């Protein structure tokens, strides 16, 4: 990749825009982009009585902070809600970790076979994975829910038994795994197919089985791609509302935090101290993931959309 | 409550451990097989589970959704195209389709335009990493979280009271003493909700486009400059053509996200006040009204709307990969 000399002589558009105007415009935009989140954070740290009476900018005049909103929203719920967000936070973690691990394990295995163990029909199978990326998950929600709750029958014969998974995480894990597979296989296949042919063939000649090649050569080399996809999948599952809502019915036993927050946002529209603290709790884990793994994240983002 | 949480974690990590255990056993026995058998086992064990889940979880359900869309609410009566005529003749659904169309045209264009502008501006600034991170940050926030953030910005109070929402306060500071109830009654409420989508996705557009601009070979720009291209002409005749495919990929990606839009509407207005879109209406029909046929027909309509966009996007992506 050739770099545009950003510090060298600025040319053309760059020079035309390299004015105080550019700096000012970016500054204003950054401020606009950050202000709403900042307001949320400040509000979540103000006492309830202050929040009800004035905007968060008043905090610069009367600084007064407390952590009690967080305690309330996590453990008490407040306003007639028996449970706080804590059980939902646990649910979100319990949903997200397996729903990140399962698809990556299955997709990397499938991607290895499709890339390095060609067989009759493997191209067709890759195309099916590839083509199913176009399916919006709404297309699969109703049949999947019916399948999980009632099984599948042809006439009177049961093809697939009713699993009785209501009230467990399994349907959400399965749904997220299924929906993630096409993209995961596609991206990981592209990466795994580009590994050096010599390396894999040499190991095969030495008598290593495909299982061994996959475990000791492909997996370690594919770690960056796996990590980048894992971050995507983690954020995607953590931030999901539709799948979580559909497959958990919003119950405290299994529903993720997003489902609870959407519900709170409808019923407690005026209790901003609760809502803002809740929203911040839901944001904190993706933010940690994002900041600690930002390098992989942006790299993974670019791998899919820009050549170079 | 802690006991409850620990039970949940035991279940979760139990499932993970079980999954890992099954894989280990399969790998152990698969790895010991010899010759042709080993190859077949590798295909079955490594590809099998993923393929099975894909067929059971996506391929079959898609066909079944199309099938279900031809029946009434509990699949007892065949309606033919009945659900589709219902959707296309119903005034409420017209509003839903109109809103969806409005979203997928306006939100992606604004997002990509803003992202491109920012990418051009930010690249030459000192401390660009900080600006980029801050603008990219909303990408890590869930749409539910983002909706709560913006609902707070749009919060409506009687103008006689002290304001809590920033937007009304700014209007009052600027001398507009009676700002309206933004998202519940304002005629532009669809656009105000779109701001949330734009806010979340502009950082993505900026980062991707900025990388594309940096990837333009320096000699191309220099040749154009030697030929006398400056400013706007350089931008229109060199920069834009060089990043055209990336712009289209960004535009399409944002469009697909927009088409699947669900969380923002559900969290901010619940689809009331003329803000319902296709994905939410599908959810209401299928999972609130329990009209499986109508819900399925809306899902099919959504699919038909996404299909050309995504197909084009994927074709483009493939072409780029082949070039590489």
Per-residue pLDDT of A165-222, as tens digits, reads 777 899 999 999 999 999 999 989 988 998 999 999 999 888 888 999 999 999 999 9
Q: Sorting pLDDT into bands at 50, 70 and 90, what band is A231?
A: confident
Facing A258 at nearest CB: one of B4, B31, B142: B142
Q: Sorting pLDDT into bands at 50, 70 and 90, what band is A307?
A: very low
Judged against a pLDDT cut of 50, whether residue A306 lies above it is answered with no
Interface of B with A in 140-179 (CB under 8 A): 140-145, 147-153, 155, 162-166, 169
Separation of CA B144 from chain center: 13
**pLDDT score at A9:** 46
Q: Sorting pLDDT into bands at 50, 70 and 90, what band is B323?
A: low
Q: Is A23 in Cβ contact with B125 (below 8 Å)?
A: yes
Whole-angstrom distance, CA of residue B182 vs CA of residue A240: 26
Helix (H) or strand (E) holding B51: helix B48-54
Weakest-pLDDT range from A112-121, B62-71, B121-130, B240-249: B121-130
Q: From the CB of residue A207, how many other CB atoms can be counted at a distance below 10 Å?
A: 8
Chain A contact present for B242, CB below 8 A: no
Q: Sorting pLDDT into bands at 50, 70 and 90, what band is B321?
A: low
To probe the interface with A, which of B149, B166, B257 has the most A CB atoms within 10 Å?
Answer: B149
**pLDDT score at A211:** 92
Judged against a pLDDT cut of 60, whether residue A236 lies above it is answered with yes
DSSP type of residue B59: I
- Residues B267 and B148: beta-carbon distance below 8 Å: yes
Give percent of chain A with pLDDT exceeding 90.
35
- Residues B238 and B216: beta-carbon distance below 8 Å: yes
Judged against a pLDDT cut of 50, whether residue A80 lies above it is answered with no
- Residues A106 and A178: beta-carbon distance below 8 Å: no
What are residue B217's phi and psi, to 5 degrees?
-60, 140
Helices A20-44, B91-122: axis angle to 10 degrees equals 120
**pLDDT score at B159:** 81
Mean pLDDT for chain A overall: 83
Q: Which residues of A touch B250 (CB under 8 A)?
A: 305
Chain A contact present for B266, CB below 8 A: yes
Nearest CA to CA, how far is A12 from chain B (Å)?
A: 5
Going by C-beta distance under 8 Å and a sequence separation of 6 or more, which residues neighbour residue B1? A86, A87
**Which pair of structure tokens corresponds to residue B31?**
């790895």
Q: Which residues of B touch A90 (CB under 8 A)?
A: 4-5, 8-9
- Residues B218 and B286: beta-carbon distance below 8 Å: no
**pLDDT score at B313:** 77
Give percent of chain B with pLDDT exceeding 70.
98
Chain B contact present for A221, CB below 8 A: no
Interface of B with A in 53-82 (CB under 8 A): 53-54, 56-62, 64-65, 68
Q: Is A141 in Cβ contact with B286 (below 8 Å)?
A: yes
- Residues B107 and B258: beta-carbon distance below 8 Å: yes
Judged against a pLDDT cut of 80, whether residue A92 lies above it is answered with yes
**pLDDT score at B111:** 97
Q: Which residue has better confidence, B159 or A105?
A: A105
Nearest CA to CA, how far is B175 from chain A (Å)?
A: 18
Q: From the CB of residue A96, how many other CB atoms can be counted at a distance below 10 Å?
A: 27
**pLDDT score at B322:** 60
Weakest-pLDDT range from B164-173, B196-205, B307-316: B307-316
Interface of A with B in 175-194 (CB under 8 A): 175, 177-179, 181-182, 185, 190
Q: Is B324 in Cβ contact with A139 (below 8 Å)?
A: no
Average pLDDT on A218-244 reads 90
Q: Quote the pTM value.
A: 0.88
Q: Which residues of A touch B141 (CB under 8 A)?
A: 37, 239, 283, 286-287
**pLDDT score at A49:** 83
Mean pLDDT for chain B overall: 87
Q: Is A302 in Cβ contact with B58 (below 8 Å)?
A: no
**pLDDT score at B82:** 86
């Amino acid at each position: 990749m050739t770099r545009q000399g950003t510090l060298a002589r600025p040319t053309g558009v760059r020079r035309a825009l390299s004015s105080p105007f550019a700096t000012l415009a970016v500054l204003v935009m950054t401020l606009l982009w950050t202000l709403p989140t900042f307001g949320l954070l400040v509000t979540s740290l103000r006492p309830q009585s202050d929040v009800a009476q004035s905007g968060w900018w008043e905090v610069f005049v009367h600084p007064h902070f407390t952590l009690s909103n967080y305690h309330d929203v996590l453990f008490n719920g407040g306003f007639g809600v028996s449970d706080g967000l804590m059980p939902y936070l646990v649910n979100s973690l319990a949903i997200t970790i397996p729903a990140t691990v399962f698809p990556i394990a299955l997709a990397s295995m499938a991607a290895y076979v499709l890339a390095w163990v060609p067989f009759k029909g493997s191209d067709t199978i890759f195309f099916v994975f590839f083509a199913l990326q176009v399916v919006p998950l709404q297309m699969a929600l109703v049949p999947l829910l019916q399948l999980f709750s009632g099984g599948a029958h042809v006439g009177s014969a049961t093809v697939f038994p009713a699993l009785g998974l209501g009230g467990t995480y399994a349907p959400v894990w399965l749904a997220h795994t299924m929906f993630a597979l096409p993209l995961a296989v596609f991206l990981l296949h592209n990466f795994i197919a580009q590994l050096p042919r010599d390396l894999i063939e040499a190991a095969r000649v030495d008598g290593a089985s495909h299982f061994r090649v996959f475990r000791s050569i492909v997996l370690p080399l594919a770690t960056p791609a796996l990590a980048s996809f894992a971050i995507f999948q983690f954020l995607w599952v953590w931030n999901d509302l539709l799948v979580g809502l559909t497959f958990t019915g919003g119950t405290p036993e299994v529903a993720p935090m997003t489902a609870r927050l959407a519900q709170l946002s409808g019923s407690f529209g005026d209790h901003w101290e609760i809502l803002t603290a809740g929203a911040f709790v839901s944001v904190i884990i993706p933010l940690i993931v994002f900041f600690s793994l930002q390098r992989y994240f942006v790299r993974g983002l670019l791998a899919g959309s820009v050549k170079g | 409550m802690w006991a409850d949480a620990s039970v949940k974690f035991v279940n979760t990590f139990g499932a993970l451990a079980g999954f890992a255990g099954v894989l280990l056993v399969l790998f152990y026995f698969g790895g010991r097989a010899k010759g042709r058998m080993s190859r077949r086992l590798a295909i079955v064990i490594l590809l099998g589970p993923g393929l099975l889940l894909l067929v059971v979880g996506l391929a079959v359900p898609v066909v079944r959704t199309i099938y279900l869309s031809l029946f009434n609410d509990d699949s007892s009566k065949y309606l033919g195209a009945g659900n589709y005529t219902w959707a296309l003749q119903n005034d409420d659904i017209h509003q839903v389709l109109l809103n969806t169309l409005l979203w997928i045209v306006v939100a992606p264009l604004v997002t990509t335009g803003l992202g491109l502008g920012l990418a051009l501006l930010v690249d030459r600034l000192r401390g660009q990493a900080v600006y980029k991170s801050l603008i990219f940050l909303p990408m890590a926030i869930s749409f539910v979280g983002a909706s709560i953030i913006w609902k707070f910005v749009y919060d409506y109070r009687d103008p006689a009271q002290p304001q809590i929402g920033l937007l009304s306060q700014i209007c009052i500071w600027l001398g507009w003493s009676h700002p309206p109830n933004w998202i519940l009654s304002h005629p532009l409420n669809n656009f105000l909700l779109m701001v949330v989508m734009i806010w979340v996705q502009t950082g993505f557009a900026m980062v991707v486009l900025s990388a594309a601009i940096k990837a333009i070979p320096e000699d191309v720009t220099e040749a154009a400059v030697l030929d006398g291209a400056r400013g706007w002409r350089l931008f229109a005749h060199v920069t834009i053509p060089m990043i055209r495919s990336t712009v289209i990929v960004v535009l399409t990606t944002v469009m697909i996200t927009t088409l699947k839009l669900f969380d923002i509407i559900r969290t901010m207005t619940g689809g009331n006040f003329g803000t319902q879109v296709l994905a939410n209406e599908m959810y209401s029909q299928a999972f609130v009204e329990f009209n499986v046929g109508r819900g399925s027909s809306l899902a099919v309509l959504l699919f038909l709307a996404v299909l050309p966009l995504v197909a084009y996007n994927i074709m483009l992506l493939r072409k780029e990969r082949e070039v590489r």
